[in-house]
Amino acid sequence: MADRVSQALSGDREDVFRELGSIGAGNAATALAGMLGKRINMNVPEVSIIPFNEVPNIMGGADNIVVGVLVNMRGQMNGYVLLLLGIDDAYSLLSAALQEKKTPPENFYIGSLSELESSALVEISNILVGSYLSAIITITNLSIKPSVPEIAVDMAGAILNIVAVSYGHIGDSVLFLKTQFTSEDSDMTGNFFLIPDFSSYKILMASLGIS
Amino acid sequence: MATVLVGMADWKISRSPDILTTLGLGSCVGVTLWDKSRGIGGLAHIMLPSSEGYTQHNRMKFADTALKDMLETILRTGASRANLVAKIAGGAHMFSGSGAGNVLKVGERNAENCKRILGEMKIPLLANDTGGTHGRTIELNIVNGQLKIKTVGFGEKFI
């Protein structure tokens, strides 16, 4: 059934949205490469509209444990940027940043991270999400104020509830943009989700000259 | 025995000795109904507190409409209203949300509304495990009515 969410991506809009994700993630990949002194690759972003009960499958199932970093956007565009990392990917990032081999313990949970690891992860994520968002702010020329990032380590379904709830008021599907970056030696994947709220979506498109 | 999986914004009814489960509840709330003597159980995975103000929508998303429909169906399936008891779990605050809006408080409102609606339906709420900042995976054992709650880092328990 074509609901308002699906209509939002008709015509050229999907391409525009995908381009936006490329620019954001490209900037984040550059920041990460600079921070780690490594080459970072990025794939072509996927723009999708999927039923919200299928959202957790993106991250390997609703009860799969992931690290989520959420930034709230306020201003001319409202919504969220969510960065999701698998546990192994989070540890690859930590190992690279702390220059020490780190592996996740069995039965990993948020308390498994030392204070240093936890704050390093927040810092890295902050840089990643911040550079993602600043590219989007530059290209759209919108005034957007990001919140301080928050970290959660939990089941993918639980963390992704925020996506479903943001769209739950207007439809049965969600619109999001997923971009992955990979590092050549550690096979690390970061998943960025740009989740403008529905009213901001039009503003976002208008700022890019799409009616 | 079968394990019946309930997705987000969905509800299902099943019979003993089945297990009804839903994975990764964050701000969403899982509500179970159970009739011990008839061996019938129901589980709803609720996303939003109220359908008020929405005309066209999926009734399974909202606490008011989902619980009403699940109650009607479980009674039609043979459960006795006088025997029904409820348990709820979920409604967490996954991100505490400095500077964030209503979306982040939805867990609390979901849990409150489910409790209020169960009260209006006069269905006793035997146990609840709501709030906090962690996700939950839950399993209702229709044989004994126990609700198993699994978390990441906050242990496992039965309510």
pLDDT tens digit string along B41-52?
999 999 999 888
Using the predicted structure, report yes or no on whether residue A168 has a pLDDT greater than 80: no
pTM for this model (two decimals): 0.85
Per-residue model confidence as pLDDT tens digits over B114-133: 999 999 999 999 999 999 88
Residues of B with catalytic roles: 28
Q: Which domains does chain B have, with CATH numbers?
A: 3-158 (3.30.1330.200)
Reported ipTM: 0.86
Q: Is the pLDDT of residue B135 over 60?
A: yes
Percent of chain A with pLDDT over 70: 85
DSSP A104: P
Pick the residue from chain A with its C-alpha nearest to B59.
Answer: A172
Binned at pLDDT 50, 70 and 90, residue B102 comes out as low
CB pairs under 8 A between A and B: 119
B contacts of A167 (beta carbons < 8 Å): none
User: In this structure, what DSSP letter does residue A40 have?
Assistant: E
Candidates A90, A118, A119, A97; CA nearest to A34 is: A97
Range with the lowest mean pLDDT among A92-101, B53-62, B94-103, B146-155?
A: B94-103
End-to-end CA distance of chain B: 21
Q: Kindly report the average pLDDT of chain A as a whole number.
A: 79
Which helix (H) or strand (E) element contains residue A161? Answer: helix A156-168
Residue linked to tokens 């000795």 = B17
Report strand pairing: B29-35 vs B3-5. Answer: unpaired
pLDDT at res. A126:
83
Domains and CATH numbers, chain A: 4-207 (3.40.1550.10)
Please give the residue of chain B at the shortest CA–CA distance from A56.
B24
**What pLDDT is stored for residue A41 in this prediction?**
79
Confidence of residue A81 (pLDDT cuts 50, 70, 90): confident
Q: A interface toward B at CB cutoff 8 Å?
A: 52-53, 55-56, 61-63, 65, 68, 70, 72, 74, 78, 107-112, 147-148, 150, 152-162, 164-166, 168-169, 172
Average pLDDT value for residue range A35-46: 77
Residue A2: its pLDDT value, please? Answer: 44
pLDDT of residue A23: 83
What is the rounded CA–CA span in Å between residue A178 and residue A160?
A: 13
CA-to-CA separations, A37 to A27, B60, B142, in angstroms, rounded: 15, 49, 55
pLDDT at A209 over 90: no
Which residues, numbered 62 to 91 in chain B, qualify as contacts with chain A under a Cβ-Cβ cut-off of 8 Å? none
What pLDDT band is residue B151 in, cutting at 50, 70 and 90?
very high
**Cβ within 8 Å, pair A154-B47:** no
Average pLDDT of the segment spanning A93-122: 84
Q: Residue B126: its pLDDT value, please?
A: 97
Q: Out of A94-108, A144-158, A182-196, B19-33, give the one with best mean pLDDT.
A: B19-33
pLDDT classification of B139: cutoffs 50, 70, 90: very high
**Over chain B, what is the mean pLDDT?**
91
For A10-40, the pLDDT digits (tens) are 666 777 777 777 888 888 888 888 887 878 8
In the prediction, which pLDDT does A3 show?
57
CA dist A6 and A47 (Å) reads 11
Spatial contact of A134 and A127, defined as CB atoms under 8 Å apart: no
Q: Which residues of A touch B99 (CB under 8 A)?
A: 72, 74, 147-148
Residue B55: its pLDDT value, please? 66
**Residue B98 reports pLDDT greater than 60:** no
- pLDDT confidence of residue B125: 97
Q: Kindly give, in sequence order, each residue whose CB lies less than 8 Å from that of residue A88, ignoring residues fewer than 6 positions away.
A: A104
Q: Which of A108, A158, A169 sits opposite B26 (nearest CB)?
A: A158
